[in-house]
Amino acid sequence: MWEEQLKECLAGGILRRQEPMKRHTTFQVGGPADYYAVPGTEEQLRRLTDLLRKEKIPYYILGNGSNLLVSDQGYRGVIVSTEELAGCEIRGTKVLAGAGIRMNRLAGEICRAGLTGFEFAAGIPGTLGGAVVMNAGAYGGEMAQILTKARVMTPEGETRELSREELGLSYRTSCIADRGYLVLSAELDLSVGEPAEIRARMEELARRRKEKQPLEYPSAGSTFKRPEGHFAGKLIMDCGLAGFRVGGACVSEKHCGFVVNDKNGTAEDVYRLCLEVQKRVRKAYGVNLTMEVKILGDFC
């Protein structure tokens, strides 16, 4: 019954059944979602989420899948992709962009406009919406430094505009997930710079990432949050876990903060490996590593 209603909400847009989530996550693992929906407009997104809440159908909002581990059994509900909400408008030093725009594409647009301040984010493998939710950061920069406001949809389907202060941004978190908000767009405030210098800085950071991070393998970036007073990667390395493997997943020898899928691993391999890493670090140092990667679906 509600499948026809889903189609009506999307007004001829994309709706797929039994969509393999390994196609939509950077770990390249994950079983099928019951439905995979791609709204083409904010209004379609609002109608769709209203329906899902009304019918009590589980759903998950997906950006680039770069911070997500989906079970091999898949997801019993609707995956809602924001990939079509990817517009970008630049006025002076202000940048207004949709939640679904990928960070590398946004970095290119900003560079061509001769604006600086976003270089740190160029290599973050996600969307702007996810970066706002997680207050994403790298190389001394983070979204809180350049974000002025975000438009969100509340669980009741209302649109609100939140200032940087109202977003409650702190280390790799914000108020958005706790309040059940959905990011629609965000505004950034940058500075005027020279495109050639901006591009050179982006290329330098890309080179540093390639040297220090296992970008040649599927992963979700830094797997664990940085525990206070420590570095997750160093704790893992000091436990002798560099190269430690469960099935096709292993702790990267290049950077122990990364769990990678290097031999056609499964989601269960990745999950069990993370649990073992947490257990050994806790036993050796009394430190609880919290996963930065979100878990979706059922695991053993």
* Catalytic residue annotation: 172, 222, 292
> d(Cα 26, Cα 248) in Å, to the nearest integer?
15
Among positive and negative, which fits the CA dihedral 30, 31, 36, 42? negative
> d(Cα 64, Cα 24) in Å, to the nearest integer?
7
Q: Rounded to whole angstroms, what are the CA distances from 260 to 36, 47, 256?
A: 25, 37, 10
> d(Cα 38, Cα 121) in Å, to the nearest integer?
25
The candidate with the shortest Cα–Cα distance to 100, out of 50, 23, 175, 45, is 45
198 phi and psi angles, rounded to 5 deg: -65, -45
**Strand pairing of 182-189 and 94-98?**
antiparallel
Crossing angle of the two packed helices 195-212 and 103-112, in degrees rounded to 10: 150
Q: CB atoms < 10 A from the CB of 69, how many?
A: 26
**Strand pairing of 182-189 and 219-222?**
unpaired
Is 187 in contact with 96 (CB distance < 8 Å)?
yes
> d(Cα 285, Cα 239) in Å, to the nearest integer?
9
Report residue 182 CA to chain centroid gap. Answer: 13
